[in-house]
Structure 1
Amino acid sequence: MRLFSPRLMAQIVKELLSVLRDPKSRFVLIVPPLVQLFVFSFAATLDVRNVDIAIYDRDAGKWSHELVERIGAAQFVHRLLPAQSPAEFKKMVEQREVIAVINIPEYFSRNIDAGRIGKVQVILDGRRANTGQVVLGYLNNIAGGLNAELTTESRLTNESAVVNHWFNPNLIYRWFIVPSIGGILVTFITLLVTALSIARERELGTFDQLLVSPCTPIEIIVSKMAPALLINTVLGLFMVAAGIFLFGIPFTGNFLLLLISMVLFILSLVGIGLMISAVCSTQQQAILGTFAIGVPAVLMSGFATPVENMPTFLQWLAQAIPLKHYLIILQGSFLKALPPSEVFANAWPMAVIAMVTLTAATLFVRGKLQ
């Protein structure tokens, strides 16, 4: 088979037209991913803002007043709601009016003036566990700042521990989330485009024409692969450009290495999508198959939780997920100038996955054509 034989080029053109000739299809491929990138970049964040906190102050002394003032002035606090009794702040938590309660005992200021430790009780809404832990961290920082001003010993202790955040010194969460969301969106679009290709042929009744065509299974796979590779490479590059120019994320890596990694990533997804398409009879089944594969892949990719925290079996399974390796390259290319050795260490697994999935897809298609 010649690499660019006329019948192969004809098949590629047919596949491109089937995807792009319909205005609605072009709209679905272009507009929703871009809208989702902008929406998710601001919505998917672990930063906590505009929370309400209840204050049960039984001390009303100098230091309790100072603590309350500092909490009220914090950027993450929307309102401080005074509570007059335990029953009242319990009701606030039960009705989700507040995320936390600061219970200041009556001896708080007296203990501090006497040189003893001033303790307060923090009650968190356990139904919002992640948000509560973030709020607790913020409150600990406020209390630590106040504690550093009380005694010389505390001041020396706090100044002796200097914290530096490499690669993201201001802890801008969007610098992490935008590249990750770009990779996730490319994952779903690639799987969807390829999963619908053969299933669409079956629904339209044109799959039977492939049975009598002179095209080989490899040519069919290549023709199905080319539109997805082209469209999603352009989409992936646009996601990278949006991160750099629209969100102002510094790009410190090697663009050529990132492009090669992106192509390997998309090829590995194309193989998975074609296997889904080969075993599905309708486009509805292909869509369901895409989400059945895509959602677990995102959850196990390390996007939300570290892979190292998962059970050993899932850690091994995560190595077969292309998104896991691509996110390491993508995030590293943006923020830490990932060296070529690290890029290669995560690129070769995607190349192996691509070879395995494309080979399996070819066998599946050959089985359907016989």
Structure 2
Amino acid sequence: MQAIALYITQTIALIRKEMLALLKDPSSRALLLAPALMQTLLFGYGATYDLTYAPFSVLDQSRGATSTELLARIEATGIFARVATLDNASQIAGQIDSGDSLLVVVFPPDFESRLAAQTEAPMQVILDGRNSATSSAAASQIAAIVGAYNQSLGATSPISILRRAWFNPNYESRWNLMPAMIASLSMLQTLMLAALSVAREREQGTFDQLLVTPLTPSQILIGKALPSIIIGLVQSTIIFLVILFWFQIPMAGSVWLLYFGLVTFTIAAVGIGLSISAVSLTMQQAMLYTFMLIMPLMLLSGLLTPVRNMPAILQIATYVNPLRFGIDTVRRVYLEGATFADVATNFIPLLAVAAVTLPLSAWLFRNRLS
């Protein structure tokens, strides 16, 4: 019994010692509390599948009382916000391609006359299929509104909906998710490699030797960044080939533009990873900081839920997230066939992140670690 009691006492003492070591260290307390709090808030506000905001455009060629009433019912939901009233069908493509409108509601010229003749009156709903979950939810909402209005009219005057999803005609979630993997999966490995590169040498004691060599900070930066960039692009290529040939998701855009976007995105991601590595004194710290950062980057990227559905403060925060613009560029080039002019604005925040993080890394190499 004495041996068992001693065993228990010693174990409790060790547990107490470890708890005190964790709780007395300010950095440990922050790592215990901050990630859980931050990720819970992000999941609660950012990772929502509810359709809370759906911008739409209208092409009303009938200009009758029924179409006006239907549009009033759609806008009265508080979910659908009309952002444009179109004059002709040629304007539809610009609204969907740019992402300004999630859907376009079209009433043909004979819509009112068909209802008056008690024949089926079709209305068209054109949806942006690049985010299949959101477009499907919006289509269901429109169908419910039209169904309720049909009941109020009676069975003699039915209104039917003709739906068409651009860039993803069958609403396949794989078409929305898989192209985004080209950027997101490669970023996980790229960020980790870059974050561990300097911390590994610091822990092994070889980085101090590197600092006394004739190499300049810029040379050290390039030497650390380029391998991670190359590995990231190789991984993106593997994912791209699997999506294209195994899953047979057709690519509509330019391969060269896709890779130009991936190179820019990877450089920005490596800049973040090198900054983490320069601040971290050990590999364990670098891994903890990286894991803390990866989850918010994923949640605020638009990978699973649209950025437009997030609260305004989180939408602003996404501008410093290179993954948001990397995913958007890949999706638009791959599925939509977007040109450089269509995605040029995505390169501005990517270049801005790289322009801040890479010089910051070089400064940290020279001042913090020397």
Shorter-chain TM-score above 0.5: yes
Partner SS for 1:213: coil
Structure 1 residue 239: deviation in Å? 1.2
Q: In 1, distance between residues paired with 2:176 and 2:342?
A: 18
The amino acid of 1:226's aligned partner reads L
Partner of 2:227: 227
Q: In 1, distance between residues paired with 2:169 and 2:241?
A: 22
Structure 1 residue 368: deviation in Å? 2.9
Q: In 2, distance between residues paired with 1:139 and 1:268?
A: 39
The amino acid of 1:364's aligned partner reads L
Partner of 2:84: none
Residues 140 and 229 of structure 1: is their aligned pair in 2 closer, same or farther, counting only changes over 3 Å? closer
Partner SS for 2:163: coil
Structure 1 residue 153: deviation in Å? 5.0
Partner of 1:199: 199
Partner of 1:179: 179
The amino acid of 1:186's aligned partner reads S
Structure 1 residue 182: deviation in Å? 2.8
Contact 1:195/1:286 (CA < 8 Å) preserved in 2?
A: yes
Contact 1:249/1:334 (CA < 8 Å) preserved in 2?
A: no
Partner of 1:238: 238
In the TM superposition, what are the counterparts of 1:1-370 in structure 2 within 5 Å?
Answer: 153-154=154-155, 157-159=158-160, 161-370=161-370
Q: In 2, distance between residues paired with 1:352 and 1:143?
A: 44
Structure 1, 261-270 or 284-293: larger mean CA deviation: 284-293
Partner SS for 1:203: helix
Q: In 1, distance between residues paired with 2:265 and 2:140?
A: 42
Residues 170 and 225 of structure 1: is their aligned pair in 2 closer, same or farther, counting only changes over 3 Å? same
Alpha-carbon deviations, 1:171-190, whole Å to 9, x = none?
A: 11101111123321111111
Unmatched runs of 5 consecutive residues or more in structure 2: 1-133
Contact 1:210/1:369 (CA < 8 Å) preserved in 2?
A: no
Residues 365 and 341 of structure 1: is their aligned pair in 2 closer, same or farther, counting only changes over 3 Å? same
Structure 1, 215-224 or 182-191: larger mean CA deviation: 182-191
Q: In 1, distance between residues paired with 2:364 and 2:351?
A: 20
The amino acid of 2:171's aligned partner reads L
Partner SS for 1:163: strand
Structure 1 residue 311: deviation in Å? 2.3
Structure 1, 306-315 or 199-208: larger mean CA deviation: 306-315
Partner SS for 1:165: strand
Partner SS for 2:305: coil
Alpha-carbon deviations, 1:307-357, whole Å to 9, x = none?
A: 122222221110111110111111112211113212211122211211111
Structure 1 residue 157: deviation in Å? 2.5
Alpha-carbon deviations, 1:78-119, whole Å to 9, x = none?
A: xxxxxxxxxxxxxxxxxxxxxxxxxxxxxxxxxxxxxxxxxx
Partner SS for 1:338: coil
Residues 155 and 177 of structure 1: is their aligned pair in 2 closer, same or farther, counting only changes over 3 Å? farther
Q: In 2, distance between residues paired with 1:245 and 1:136?
A: 30
Q: In 1, distance between residues paired with 2:330 and 2:140?
A: 33
Q: In 2, distance between residues paired with 1:339 and 1:352?
A: 21
Contact 1:278/1:361 (CA < 8 Å) preserved in 2?
A: yes
The amino acid of 1:335's aligned partner reads L
Structure 1, 252-261 or 304-313: larger mean CA deviation: 304-313
Partner SS for 1:319: helix
The amino acid of 2:299's aligned partner reads L
Structure 1 residue 269: deviation in Å? 0.5
Contact 2:300/2:318 (CA < 8 Å) preserved in 1?
A: yes
Q: In 2, distance between residues paired with 1:284 and 1:326?
A: 28
Q: In 1, distance between residues paired with 2:208 and 2:275?
A: 18
Residues 356 and 134 of structure 1: is their aligned pair in 2 closer, same or farther, counting only changes over 3 Å? closer
Alpha-carbon deviations, 1:201-251, whole Å to 9, x = none?
A: 012111121132111111111000010011111111221111111111110
Q: Among the aligned pairs, what percent are the same residue? A: 36
Partner SS for 2:226: helix
TM-score, length basis structure 1 = 0.58
| Equivalent residue pairs, number | 238
Partner of 1:77: none
Superposed CA RMSD: 3.3
Structure 1 residue 369: deviation in Å? 4.5
Q: In 2, distance between residues paired with 1:135 and 1:280?
A: 44
Partner of 2:57: none
Contact 2:194/2:225 (CA < 8 Å) preserved in 1?
A: yes
Structure 1 residue 263: deviation in Å? 0.4
Partner of 2:93: none
TM-score, length basis structure 2 = 0.58
